[in-house]
Amino acid sequence: MSRPNIYFNRRRRFLRDSLILLFSLLLLYICLDFPIPTAGLARRATERRAFFGPSQVLCTLEEPIAYERSYAVRWRDWYGVVSIRRSGLFWDAGGVEVVENDPAQALIPMTDQVILRYEEPILVFSNDPNIVRVALEFPAAPEGEPPRLISAVAWSDNGCFVLDIPELPTDTAWTYSRDFRLSGYDASVNRIWFTENPDSWVEQFGVEFA
């Protein structure tokens, strides 16, 4: 017994085509995310999963904060770092770190504390396009000696400053403050913005720092 032929009218064809289109888009989305063929798509996938963005990429960090590649980004009132992972010939989603922007402050650090044991750089964003040089300073004292200021400096013309904290010598024990101060300089190396010394400096070391 032969099966009856099924004829599609215009409405049924439209419904069928719509379902095929939705299925194709879903398949395409899955294919683009798992695996992800480009770093740009991996960054956007990472942001989607973190409910962040789509962001504006300010710069690609030469030394990634995490995984194999990191982007410094801005979205609305937030700065952030989006890091992605390499997965063979493809890319995979990674993680997002964010900090809220304060337009009243010229410099916005991703963190407010130095933690030397992690040996990670500190990323600073600038709200002032005239700032092209940033200095970060904090006091440290070797055992039995007076404290001194440890500094890290970075230059940039894109508003993203990556400050590598110097390693302290390991031949003696050090006491250091995790609180730091920031200074911003223009192209003529004139200091045009700075933060005040943290109160903890005097409390910890008992001396004033110029």
Higher pLDDT among residues 123 and 34, named by residue: 123
pLDDT at 19: 76
Q: b/e string for 21-38 if b means 16 or more Cβ within 10 A? A: eeeeeeeeeeeebeebee
Left if phi > 0, otherwise alpha if psi is -120 to 50, otherwise beta: which for 114? Answer: beta
pLDDT at 62: 84
Spell out the residues 6+ positions from residue 126 whose beta carbon is closer than 8 angstroms to its own: 106, 107, 108, 134, 156, 159, 160, 161, 184
pLDDT at 79: 97
Left if phi > 0, otherwise alpha if psi is -120 to 50, otherwise beta: which for 52? Answer: beta
Quick one: how far is CA 168 from the chain centroid? Answer: 25
Higher pLDDT among residues 133 and 30, named by residue: 133
Residue 28 clears pLDDT 70, i.e. is over it: no
Strands 148-155 and 133-142: antiparallel
Strands 160-163 and 122-126: antiparallel
Higher pLDDT among residues 64 and 55, named by residue: 55
Whether the Cβ atoms of residue 167 and residue 175 lie closer than 8 Å to each other = no
pTM exceeds 0.85 for this model? no
Token pair in block for residue 203? 């409390």
pLDDT at 85: 92
For range 167-185, the mean pLDDT: 91
pLDDT at 144: 86
Find, among 78, 112, 117, the residue nearest to 97 by Cα: 78
| Phi, psi for 22 (deg, rounded to 5) | -65, -40
pLDDT at 1: 52
Residue 21 clears pLDDT 60, i.e. is over it: yes
The whole-chain average pLDDT of the chain stands at 87
Query: Which tens digit of pLDDT belongs to each residue from 146-174?
Result: 999 999 999 999 999 999 998 888 888 99
